[in-house]
A = this chain, B = another copy of it.
């Protein structure tokens, strides 16, 4: 193993103290170091191919310039895009992110938090999963900077950035109604996660405000992580009723759904209108490209990171942000 070169090596070679080398290489108290000496030190550093040891620096400064990110399910494009947005922004601010995926599992989430804390991350961004309120409270208690992303718990005070789920869902269903659909079904999740409940609430409110009655039988609530078969069964049950449009509460459900609708040879949009919350690559490739709610992923990533950086730099005030989604209208919801 090549011995790594340290400040000490440079100091010895130049014949000065390590302190001075540290000052020079970090451009601190610039004016108070002899120009020639400074130049010599810098030159020696490059000659020896010096690379500062961040671990040592971190130990000393108590700052790792690292943040932890926990997404709910990295195999979902929403998660990977959010991760990417945050990483891009982190890099611009000289932070490195370590990423974990909780897989919608509370224990896994706890484990990741612990790993992050042991590694002395400066802050954490979490897309929290069900039943992790205690974890959030704990983070608050130990006073580590963190922000919740995409999801939050109304009963737990915490910085968070999320989408206006209610508004976006309302917009989607309102759009379907305005297009002339009269019997709109929804495939949603049975969950304690408020951000998802909000989507369902948006659906119901949009119906009501448009003088369409909300029928319980038209709202199918599946468990998270449900199978293709379960989605198909739900669709079967909906199609037995006079349903002429479907609103999917997530990209995963929509993706399962259109695969099935494809198989059934149902005519979209004329026999069945479709809108999906969040996108899939599939959305564009379906024979009738899907109308969907575009989530402001980049904005969410950026904002969450900047709120976190604010916290890290000591800001106390709680910050929450609620960003509007956008309805992208394509063929699947426009009667011909």
A84 within 8 Å of B by Cβ?
yes
Known: A118-B53, A142-B2, A262-B285. A75 touches B64 (CB 8 A): no
Contact residue among B54, B98, B114 (Cβ-Cβ distance under 8 Å from A120): B54
Contact of A99 among B53, B58, B81, B87 (CB under 8 A): B87
A226 located at the interface, meaning its Cβ lies under 8 Å from any Cβ of chain B in the complex: no
Number of copies: 2
Nearest chain B residue, comparing its CB with the CB of A251: B281
A56 engages B53 (CB within 8 Å): no
Chain B residues whose CB sits within 8 angstroms of the CB of A80 once the complex forms = 74-75, 77, 80
What separation, in Å, do the CA atoms of A74 and B301 have in the docked complex? 15
A119, CB-defined interface residue at 8 Å: yes
A83-120 CB mask vs B (1 if < 8 Å, else 0) is 11001000000001111110000000000001101111
**A51 & B118 in contact (Cβ 8 Å cutoff):** yes
| Residue in B58, B98, B262 whose beta carbon sits within 8 Å of that of A287 in the complex | B262
A280 within 8 Å of B (CB atoms): yes
Given A77-B77, A281-B282, are A84 and B101 also a contact pair (CB < 8 Å)?
A: yes
Contact A59/B51 with A87-B101, A143-B1 known, Cβ cut-off 8 Å? no
CA distance A307 to B74 in the complex (A): 24
Q: Is A157 an interface residue (CB 8 A)?
A: no
- Determine how close the nearest CB of chain B comes to the CB of A86; give it in whole angstroms: 11
**Chain B proximity mask over A49-72: 1 for CB below 8 Å, otherwise 0:** 001111110110000101000000
CA distance A2 to B183 in the complex (A): 56
CA distance A75 to B58 in the complex (A): 31
Docked complex Cα distance between A258 and B81 (Å): 23
Chain A 145-168 interface 0/1 with B at a Cβ cutoff of 8 Å (1 = within): 000000000000000000000000
Interface pairs (23), CB distance under 8 Å: A1-B143, A2-B142, A53-B59, A55-B119, A56-B59, A74-B80, A74-B83, A74-B87, A75-B81, A75-B84, A77-B80, A87-B99, A97-B98, A98-B98, A99-B99, A255-B281, A258-B285, A259-B285, A262-B285, A280-B281, A282-B282, A282-B284, A287-B287
